[in-house]
Amino acid sequence: EEARRRENEWREIGLGAQILKDLGISSINLIASRERHYVGLEGFGIHIAKTEIL
């Protein structure tokens, strides 16, 4: 169950990264409830410049 949830989460992240890339966005400020690292975004050319914790 956990593996399936994680796979779906990464699929959504990849889709979002592709949309950002198509929009010409290469750097983002991430707003999140906790610190997270999305190493897969670099493969799409998206750099997380800053993380703001809510």
Cα–Cα distance for residue pair 15/20, rounded to 1 Å: 9
Residue 14 is part of which domain span? 2-53
CB neighbours of 43 closer than 8 A, spacing ≥ 6? none
What is the structure's pLDDT at 47? 93
What is the structure's pLDDT at 35? 87
The position carrying tokens 């989460």 is 9
Number of domain units in the chain: 1
Instruction: Give mean pLDDT in consecutive 10-residue pieces for the chain, a chain of 54 residues.
Output: 84 88 95 86 90 94
What is the structure's pLDDT at 9? 82
What is the structure's pLDDT at 36? 83
- Exposure letters 16-36 (e unless 16+ CB within 10 A, then b): ebeebeeeeeeebeeeeeeee
